[in-house]
Amino acid sequence: PLTSSTGRLFDAVAALCGICRVANYDSQPAIELEAKAKDTEFAQFYPFELDLDKGIYLIRLKGILEGVLSNIKSGKTAAYISVKFHNTVSQIVLDTCRKLSAESGLTKVALSGGVFQNRRLFRQVIQQLETEGFKVLTHKEIPSNDGCISLGQAVIAANQGGL
């Protein structure tokens, strides 16, 4: 099924790995998946496809999910899968930014959304983008979760005379 939420992908991988099948609080699967990756580093990532469809980039997840399931079947640890998955999400961000920059000439990237509460992913994406020459903008005053969405909506409404 289609989703625009990276969080749902974290939920799915955490559930497949048996890390967190039932969430008792918001973002629990992602938090526990991130914790599994602690102190483990390598550069591999799962295959994915980034397709342009009617002017919108779509990330095809089949290769990621097949890779996770293959790793589970072959006995790879949850830590291994978590690191490889985090690497994959970071690579998706980098590849998407490369494509958009090639099309537009833009080199500034704003990182926002609840997924960037994940410290490992946040640091990894910033490092990769800056290495590629991108200027990375991040939150300083407000968190990068749903609270910033509400604030952004209020700012837009105020600028349009709706408040």
pLDDT at position 143 is 80
In tens, the pLDDT along 88-127 reads: 999 999 999 999 999 999 999 999 888 999 999 999 999 9
- Per-residue pLDDT band at 2 (split at 50, 70, 90): confident
- Stretch 144-162: mean pLDDT: 81
- Per-residue pLDDT band at 136 (split at 50, 70, 90): very high
CA gap 3, 158 in Å, rounded? 29
pLDDT at position 1 is 66
Residue percentage of the chain with pLDDT more than 90: 79
H or E stretch including 58?
strand 56-60
CA gap 4, 25 in Å, rounded? 21
- CATH code, residues 6-159: 3.30.420.40
Q: What residues does each domain of the chain span? A: 6-159
Could you tell me the two tokens for 16?
Answer: 């497949």
Q: Could you tell me which residues are beta bridge partners of residue 60?
A: 49
Query: Which DSSP string corresponds to 29-50?
Result: HHHHHHHHTTT---------EE
Residue 135 has pLDDT above 70, yes or no: yes
* Total-model pTM: 0.89
pLDDT at position 67 is 98
Q: What is the pLDDT of the chain when averaged over all its residues?
A: 93
- Stretch 80-85: mean pLDDT: 98
CA gap 57, 99 in Å, rounded? 9
CA distances to 7, 123, 128, 137, 149 from 117, in Å = 11, 10, 17, 14, 14
CA gap 23, 48 in Å, rounded? 27
